[in-house]
Amino acid sequence: MSLNFPDNFLFGSATSSFQIEGHPHAKGAQPSIWNTFCKKKFAVKNGHNGTIACNHYELWEKDLEIIRRLNLDSYRFSVAWPRILPAGEGPPNEKGLDFYDQLTDRLLEYDVTPMLTLYHWDLPEHLQAKGGWAHPQSPDWFANYTRAVASRLADRVPLWVTFNEPWVFLHLGMVTGEHAPGYRDPAHAAMAWKHVLLAHSRSVETLRSCSESIEVGLACNISPFIPASSDEKDIEATSRMEAYHNRLFLDPWLKDSFPDVADHAFGRYTPAWTESERSEAATEIDFLGINYYSPNRIAHQSDTFLEVGIRPPKPPVTDMNWEIYPEGLYEVLEWAFERYGPLDLYVTENGCAYTDSVGNGIVKDNRRIHYFKNHLEQCSKAVSDGIPLKGYYAWSLLDNFEWSFGYEKRFGIVHVDFSTQQRIIKNSGYFYRDLITSVKEGKKELVPYEDPIIF
Ligand code: GBH
């Protein structure tokens, strides 16, 4: 495997607050919409919830020790809004901020660059009760929350992400109901779309006012969309879905253009925009983070905008039944650079779920090693071709709460035993560590990774 990465390329790993921390009531915190959602019957597989998760809230020092041993350059984590503004409003809860303050200091002590995500889906339940993202004041709420976090951390955290995957929490949370808050309410989703667009730009503005030296960006999930056939109807259905999934947020934010897709997707619920609101939504950012997992295959089913046929993935697939298509990572990076550049790019998430077995304290997750190797090879190619890719974050550091799938799906490069909270670095973790070390040593080729890591 050739390694064409510049010296300052950031190799990292990512997590999110709700998926790992546990302890939703610690030090004055209050529940988020995911705590509430987990209590709903059949919402989450096996009735799992985030009350303990990886107990990272208590075991964070151990987890940072793992990060150090893996030789990571960077760590992407998210802040739990309900720890900072438990009721959504009022003065910030300093004790909630302390947790992330300590975490940041320890990362810096270990020479690991923090990348902080403000919103990875855990909205304070109190704000949902008022209407959540459909409430016209939600951009103000988000700006206030941003100010609270940035006032504490912008002096030390250099990389900031406002939203993680806005399309996912909008579509799965408010259109299909698979994620919190579990609505199937297109009118609510349409209003939320507008307010999230405005909230991001308000947050960016707030971040800029707190520090001139930080870099601000986004993390969006982007997928290649592949038509099931060359039939014109399949191609048309595919481009509808591509627009809805990949561009619903990014076009207004980064191109100041409102795709027809919004009108088509939301129909009569499409929110009204004044000219000044539209230009307010468009905001310059410093980097675009791309979360890449798999492509989507689409066929025509009906002319109704959101009704398309989702075709089964082509093997090989992961445990999520997501198709493995490493070239797709190159394709989305190239697409993002051409459409939204010039702009720094990061792969803010990439990874796969597999059932791992532990034997003698070793996890031989060869398939995950292959997944990472093949995707990192595409990153190396992108860098060679002049795409300004600045970093890559493996999803995820730890096996964790995989949303509606609970703890059954394991994405970690570190195994977590959820009954003992014991952590074991998987072989994919050692593979990643050795790759990072090879790059740091200036090697242009990865020494064969098959041994001694795996056997
Ligand atoms: C990310 O979401 C999340 O940021 C992270 O928290 C999560 O643990 C991780 O990935 C693994 O799931 O809905 O038809 O487009 C991934 C987003 C959304 C990608 C659903 C795949 C399925 C097909 N995913 N999507 S569709």
Query: Predicted ipTM?
Result: 0.92
Secondary structure (3-state) at 132: helix
Give the end-to-end CA distance of the chain in Å, rounded to a whole number.
Answer: 20
Per-residue pLDDT tens listing for the chain (455 residues): 889 999 999 999 999 999 999 999 999 999 999 999 999 999 999 999 999 999 999 999 999 999 999 999 999 999 999 999 999 988 999 999 999 999 999 999 999 999 999 999 999 999 999 999 999 999 999 999 999 999 999 999 999 999 999 999 999 999 999 999 999 999 999 999 999 999 999 999 999 999 999 999 999 999 999 999 999 999 999 999 999 999 999 999 999 888 788 999 999 999 999 989 999 999 999 999 999 999 999 999 999 999 999 999 999 999 999 999 999 999 999 999 999 999 999 999 999 999 999 999 999 999 999 999 999 999 999 999 999 999 999 999 999 999 999 999 999 999 999 999 999 999 999 999 999 999 999 988 887 655 444 43
DSSP class of 423: E
- Alpha-carbon dihedral sign for residues 130, 132, 136, 137: positive
- What number of CA atoms fall less than 13 Å from residue 325's CA on the CB side? 21
Q: What is the pLDDT of residue 435?
A: 95
Q: What is the pLDDT of residue 229?
A: 98
Q: How far apart are the CA of 232 and the centre of ligand 1, in A?
A: 28
Displacement of CA 145 from its chain's centroid (Å): 19
330 in a known ligand binding site: no
What the block records as the tokens of 1 is 């495997």
Task: Look up tokens 């952590």; give the residue.
Answer: 423
- What number of CA atoms fall less than 13 Å from residue 222's CA on the CB side? 27
Contact 410, 354 (CB under 8 A): yes
Q: How far apart are the CA of 178 and the centre of ligand 1, in A?
A: 11
Regarding the beta carbon of 402 and ligand 1, being less than 6 Å apart is answered yes
From CA 384, how far away is CA 3, in angstroms rounded?
Answer: 10
Q: What is the pLDDT of residue 452?
A: 44
Q: Where are the alpha helices (DSSP H) in 119-255?
A: 125-129, 138-153, 166-170, 186-210, 232-242, 250
- The torsion of the CA quartet 256, 159, 179, 196, rounded to 10 degrees, works out to -30
* Catalytic machinery residues: 165, 349
Q: What is the pLDDT of residue 455?
A: 38
Contact 138, 81 (CB under 8 A): no
374 in a known ligand binding site: no
Regarding the beta carbon of 122 and ligand 1, being less than 6 Å apart is answered no
Secondary structure (3-state) at 193: helix
Q: How far apart are the CA of 168 and the centre of ligand 1, in A?
A: 7
DSSP class of 295: -
Q: What is the pTM of this model?
A: 0.97
- What number of CA atoms fall less than 13 Å from residue 28's CA on the CB side? 16
Secondary structure (3-state) at 42: coil
Q: What is the pLDDT of residue 448?
A: 61
Regarding the beta carbon of 163 and ligand 1, being less than 6 Å apart is answered no
From CA 112, how far away is CA 104, in angstroms rounded?
Answer: 9
141 in a known ligand binding site: no
Contacts of residue 431, Cβ cutoff 8 Å, sequence gap at least 6: 369, 372, 373, 449, 453
Regarding the beta carbon of 393 and ligand 1, being less than 6 Å apart is answered no
